[in-house]
């Protein structure tokens, strides 16, 4: 279970980072 939670958290964190980066790029443009 711990492994699954860790994997899921890593995926979510990556997704959030990508979304944040996209917003930042849009704001800069």
pLDDT at 17: 65
pLDDT at 27: 65
Each residue's pLDDT tens digit, 1-29: 667 777 777 766 666 666 666 776 666 66
The number of C-alpha atoms within 13 Å of 15 and in the hemisphere containing its C-beta is: 6
2 Cα distance to chain centroid: 19
What is the Rg, in whole angstroms, of the alpha carbon atoms belonging to the chain?
13
* Enclosing H/E stretch for 7: helix 2-28
pLDDT at 15: 63
């Amino acid at each position: 279970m711990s492994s699954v939670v860790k994997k899921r958290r890593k995926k979510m964190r990556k997704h959030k980072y990508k979304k944040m980066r996209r917003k930042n790029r849009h704001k800069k443009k």
